[in-house]
Amino acid sequence: MSLSVFPALLGCDIAVKRTPVWATMIQTAASGKELRAALWSAPRYKYQIPLNFARVAGFSPQTVSNEMAQINTLFHSVQGSWSTFLYTDPYSNTALTTSFGTGNASTTAFQLLDIEGYPIYYTNSTPSIYVNGTLQTVTTNYTISATGLVTFVAAPASSATITWSGTYYRQVRFDMDEFELSQIVNLAWGKGTIKLVSIK
């Protein structure tokens, strides 16, 4: 996977469509009764991002970056839908003393969770870790892996509340191998939709 981050394009519309997706296996008997099995323990997400415009360097004196090059470079570097990158979910991206575990006096490792209670693997800042509201010190009290696994030096006490604050990314890929934009004026392209889907 790539640790590239989806660029903050000024021309992206605020009207992002965000769709949680579950997977359920359903078998229907002749009587009409159903046998259902949930295949996933956490949802995936689909995003549709309207791109109103992406400017090329030189569009205006205020155009300080080549937005068209940023999105093209990312799309080609991951070869369309083949590889993955990181995206800031517009709804779920910031934890504020968000719970990610309860101590039992024996467990030392806990995976960071997002604000909806699902595992998060890529942070966008150095997390602040708390046990019963007390800020913990990294290396002294705990270590954290590159994928958000917090391991305490000493197991938190029974019933201790374990929380964290920080920002995080969603791992995604393009949900397309083609990306069509129309030239709307000289040195500016747009009228396209960027489709992403999260990866577990």
Tens-place pLDDT, residues 123-140:
998 999 999 999 999 999
Closest CA relative to residue 168, chosen from 194, 130, 133, 198: 198
Rounded Cα distance between 178 and 75, Å, is 9
Mean pLDDT, residues 106-110 taken together: 98
Closest CA relative to residue 157, chosen from 185, 190, 182, 134: 134
Closest CA relative to residue 47, chosen from 83, 12, 95: 12
pTM of the model: 0.90
Using the predicted structure, report yes or no on whether residue 36 has a pLDDT greater than 90: yes
